[in-house]
């Protein structure tokens, strides 16, 4: 009998893939954690039945979450990753000459499961610059002032424990936790299915940060494929970043060319964040 993993992407849409083997299933204090060996995507990590990452396309998301902010900041030394317990963003961050990378993940079981089933994604945990905090990211950020050059919010969707990571109040704490030249990025969901959320996040970010940008990446296993990442920066603008540092990185998706191109937004996305944009 064939076995399928199905993600309910919206009340009217499901995406499925064939499962060759269920490798792991458990209920942690926070969520249902599952790892499947799939026919199409290699290993797949699901939290509460939502796809977080897969062997096949993880590099797109993790590279874009890490390298766009780290190349934009003129000299990033102290980096904080909130969420991201699989370790994929950390693995990309340590490709830069940073001094410290702090990972704050609320669910320690995600870290342990990923170390066991996704060794290539979680490989960065072995780097001596990485410090792991199993804690609530909202509280963690609230207690830090002016400490980080770059903060990366690699959250789950805005339901359950991650809901607060999409609120203006949280972005204000992020701004306070950043050094004077600091900047942050957060994953901000699908422009097709979460337009209202993206719009309200950007209204909030514009009230907090002098530079606010949105960029896109293609992630086949996320709803709609087209995924948004938002940036709030105190000074540096990704559109005028020195892209020489992008050239030496060992990546598969991100490049200087992609850095420039990912800020070119389709009209319907531009209209979400700049309501005055004229229609074609």
Shortest distance, position 65 Cβ to ligand SPD, whole Å: 8
- Mapped onto helix, strand or coil, the DSSP state of residue 232 is strand
What's the closest the beta carbon of residue 52 comes to ligand SPD, in angstroms? 4
What span, in angstroms and rounded, lies between the C-alpha atoms of 104 and 140? 8
Q: Give 52 or 185: the residue with its C-beta nearer to ligand SPD.
A: 52
CA distance 54 to 51: 8
154 is catalytic: yes
Binding mask 18-57 for ligand SPD (x = CB under 6 A): --------------------------------x-xx----
Residue 105 near ligand SPD by CB under 6 A: no
Q: Are 110 and 33 in contact (CB under 8 A)?
A: yes
- Taking the complex as a whole, the smallest distance from the CB of residue 187 to ligand SPD amounts, in Å, to 5
Rule CB under 6 A: say whether 154 interacts with ligand SPD: yes
User: How many angstroms separate the Cα of 167 from the Cα of each of 65, 95, 205, 238?
Assistant: 19, 30, 10, 23
Decide: is 222 part of the binding site for ligand SPD (CB under 6 A): yes
Question: Which residues, 6+ apart, have CB-to-CB distance to 28 below 8 Å?
Answer: 107, 109, 110
Separation CA 206–CA 209 (nearest Å): 6
Choose the catalytic residue: 86, 154, 157, 242: 154
Q: Which listed residue (69, 76, 84, 161) binds ligand SPD by CB under 6 A?
A: 84
DSSP 3-state of 179: strand
Among 88, 137, 182, 191, binds ligand SPD (CB under 6 A): 88
Beta bridge partner(s), residue 229:
187, 215
Structure tokens at 29: 């204090």
Active site residue ranges: 154
List contacts with ligand SPD (CB under 6 A): 50, 52-53, 61, 84, 86, 88, 154, 156-157, 187, 222
């Amino acid at each position: 009998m064939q076995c399928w993993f199905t993600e309910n992407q919206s009340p009217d849409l499901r995406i499925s893939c064939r499962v060759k083997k269920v490798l792991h299933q458990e209920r942690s204090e926070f969520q249902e954690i599952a790892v499947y060996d799939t026919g199409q995507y290699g290993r797949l990590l699901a939290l509460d039945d939502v796809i977080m990452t897969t062997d096949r396309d993880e590099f797109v998301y993790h590279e874009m979450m890490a390298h766009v902010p780290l190349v934009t900041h003129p000299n990033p030394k102290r980096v904080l990753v909130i969420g991201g317990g699989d370790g994929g963003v950390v693995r990309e961050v340590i490709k830069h000459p940073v001094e410290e990378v702090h990972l704050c993940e609320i669910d320690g079981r995600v870290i342990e499961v990923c170390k066991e089933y996704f060794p290539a994604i979680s490989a960065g945990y072995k780097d001596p610059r990485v410090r792991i905090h199993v804690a609530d990211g909202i509280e963690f950020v609230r207690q830090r002032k002016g400490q980080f050059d770059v903060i990366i919010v690699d959250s789950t969707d805005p339901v359950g424990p991650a809901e607060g990571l999409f609120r203006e109040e949280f972005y204000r704490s992020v701004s306070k936790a950043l050094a004077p030249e600091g900047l942050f990025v957060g994953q901000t969901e699908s422009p097709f299915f979460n337009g209202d959320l993206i719009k309200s996040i950007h209204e909030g970010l514009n009230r907090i940060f002098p530079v606010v940008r949105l960029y896109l990446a293609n992630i086949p296993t996320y709803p709609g494929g087209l995924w948004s990442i938002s940036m709030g920066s105190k000074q540096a603008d990704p559109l005028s970043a020195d892209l020489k540092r992008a050239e030496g990185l060992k990546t598969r998706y991100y490049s200087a060319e992609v850095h420039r191109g990912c800020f070119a937004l389709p009209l319907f996305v531009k209209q979400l964040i700049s309501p005055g944009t004229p229609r074609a």
